[in-house]
Amino acid sequence: MGLNIEGQIEKVNGKELSYEEFVERYLEKNQPVVLTGLMDGWRACSDWVTVDGQPNLHFISSHFGKSKVQVADCGRREFTDQKRVEMSVSEFIRNWIQFSSKEYSNPSNCEGDDQSLLYLKDWHFVKEYPEYAAYTTPLFFCDDWLNLYLDSYNMHMDPDTSQVKNEINCSDYRFVYMGSKGTWTPLHADVFRSYSWSANVCGKKKWLLLSPSQCHLVFDKHMKSSVYDIFDDVSESKFPGFKKAIWLECIQEQNEIIFVPSGWYHQVHNMEDTISINHNWFNAYNLSWVWKLLLKDYNEAKEYIEDIRDICDDFEGLCQRNLAVNTGMNFSDFFTFITRFSIANLIQLHSLVKDYGKHIYDSSSATHHLISNLTSIKKVALNMKSMESFSGNSGLLLDVTEVLEEPDFMKLCLALDRIYGILRDEQWKHSSDRKETMKLDFGDLYFIEDSCCKVSCPNDLIRLITYVVTNLGTKFSNANFSLT
């Protein structure tokens, strides 16, 4: 079945693009782009690549060969993904070399053979080798709340939930992928409906992307299952809308980075032996996508076990535990996440206003960024208000004064301050505004009234954000910080 391909992804020189332009053109509009010129000086681009542009498998095996990694068998499907096996990096590379010598380039040619095309995926390289510094995250992708949070906290609060499966309590979403020509990834949208960026250290990839407005076309009539392989013989009776889908195609070359926005389904094929570095991430600009996915998966989890509601002592608790297992977080996890980031952003705003006083205006880039973050969180909290999980006594309570004293929260705030300092420097480099380093004070929010310090539900969080922002606007700068 031929695909309806009617567009290509824009390619832009990242050195000629400002952060504000990237936000306006791609983050806010949720549009994909390929960026060039951003991988100069990466250690991975020299150590991991031979002089003729091929993966330096000997170097990787000799330096990192003992690492245990997840490897996808591209010729075998398991539920909605490829079958995964665990092996060492050295074992994977030996398999790669042996298989490549047979010159297979298509998984369908492997049927009946003892070997298959194997694709190393989701290698947590940064966590495993933090001192190696294989690359530097480009400026456009630095405002990464997901990985900053996971550097300080576990995503799951419930010990029983986080022990179910190690992958759930994920260390981070910074990955290395390695695969020979012909390896591929089935059609999917990214975890949490996050953004992703993927940098080709070497090799070439073909991407097929489908915008969120068209994604219903790759699902069955009941919106329960989606197409696995868009190049397969897709059943028209099962997926009646598939032929109508309009795809964007992208050929990603070596030293190019593709930005994949939230909710874009995509299928990816390695056209050459390829190594890539990939991050999943989200921040205020796509926080609503994360909540919408959680709500969708929650409703499906609840529907699946609805028949045992009357005999279940804690039906809602069971739904939340299942949601955590299936999606990677539950409502409480997400609410705790956005509450901590609310407090972190409020500290940033307080420090900024206190340092700059009357010279801070609503229109300034740094202030606008923080207000925009808090507005996004507030909108998500408003959407969460009606959920059963937050009615009555949910058992969830965050005390702002206690959060401020957490060593892990201090670590998170310092990391966020470092990132926002980089963004401020970039935004102000052509400005006459004051450029001294902002002083971060972890006592900045102790002026909050007791009535706003306890956060156990979305209404509490909305009240906290509104109180602090309003207070700052009158206390230091007489500015009207509007949370629209």
pLDDT, tens only, 363-376: 478 888 999 999 99
Model confidence at 474, pLDDT cuts 50, 70, 90, reads low
What is the pLDDT averaged over residues 218-238? 96
Beta strand 4-8 with 11-13 is unpaired
What is the pLDDT averaged over residues 471-480? 63
What is the tally of structural domains in the chain?
2
Classify residue 257 by its DSSP letter: E
Kindly state whether residue 188 falls inside one of the protein's structural domains.
yes
CATH of the domain at 224: 2.60.120.650
Model confidence at 354, pLDDT cuts 50, 70, 90, reads confident
Model confidence at 166, pLDDT cuts 50, 70, 90, reads very low
Kindly state whether residue 296 falls inside one of the protein's structural domains.
yes
Instruction: Tell which of 243, 259, 281 closes a domain.
Output: 281
pLDDT digits (tens, 9 = 90+) for 91-106: 999 999 998 877 544 5
Classify residue 135 by its DSSP letter: -
pLDDT of residue 473: 74
What is the pLDDT averaged over residues 391-407? 81
Nearest 5°: phi and psi at 212? -55, -30
Contact 455, 461 (CB under 8 A): yes
92-96, 156-160, 416-420: the lowest-pLDDT one: 156-160
pLDDT of residue 434: 45
Helix (H) and strand (E) counts for the chain? 15, 16
Assess whether pLDDT exceeds 80 at residue 311: yes
pLDDT of residue 263: 98
Class of residue 301 by CB neighbours under 10 A (exposed 0-12, middle 13-18, buried 19+): buried
21-25, 153-157, 247-251, 304-308: the lowest-pLDDT one: 153-157
Residues 312 and 448 in one domain: yes
Q: Output 472 or 342, whichever has higher pLDDT.
A: 342
What is the pLDDT averaged over residues 16-43? 97
Written in H, E and C, the secondary structure of 43-77 is CHHHHCECCCCCECHHHHHHHHCCCEEEEEEEEEE
Model confidence at 426, pLDDT cuts 50, 70, 90, reads confident
Contact 406, 385 (CB under 8 A): no
24-38, 157-171, 198-212, 418-432: the lowest-pLDDT one: 157-171
Residues 270 and 140 in one domain: yes
Assess whether pLDDT exceeds 90 at residue 447: no
Cα distance between residue 181 and residue 119, in whole Å? 10
Instruction: Tell which of 281, 304, 335 closes a domain.
Output: 281
CB proximity list for 121: less than 8 A, separation 6 or greater? 70, 71, 72, 84, 175, 177, 185
Nearest 5°: phi and psi at 274? -135, 140
Residues 324 and 413 in one domain: yes
Angle at 341 (CA atoms; ends 339, 345), nearest 5 degrees:
120
Kindly state whether residue 482 falls inside one of the protein's structural domains.
no
Q: pLDDT over 90 for what percent of the chain?
A: 75
What is the pLDDT averaged over residues 290-299? 96
Residues 20 and 159 in one domain: yes
Which of 107-116, 134-143, 313-322 is the most confident on average? 134-143
Residues 151 and 276 in one domain: yes
* pTM metric for this prediction: 0.92
Residues 264 and 326 in one domain: no
Residue-number span of the structural domain to which 348 is assigned: 286-476
**By three-state DSSP, how is residue 81 classified?**
strand
Residues 315 and 334 in one domain: yes
Kindly state whether residue 162 falls inside one of the protein's structural domains.
yes
pLDDT digits (tens, 9 = 90+) for 232-284: 999 999 999 999 999 999 999 999 999 999 999 999 999 999 999 999 999 99
Model confidence at 438, pLDDT cuts 50, 70, 90, reads low
Residues 217 and 344 in one domain: no
**By three-state DSSP, how is residue 281 classified?**
strand
Assess whether pLDDT exceeds 90 at residue 466: yes
Cα distance between residue 127 and residue 69, in whole Å? 13
Residues 271 and 299 in one domain: no
Cα atoms in the Cβ-side hemisphere of radius 13 Å centred on 118: 22
Measure the N-to-C terminal CA separation of the chain; round to a whole number of Å: 47
pLDDT of residue 429: 62
pLDDT of residue 428: 63
pLDDT of residue 163: 47
Instruction: Tell which of 221, 249, 281 closes a domain.
Output: 281
Assess whether pLDDT exceeds 60 at residue 162: no
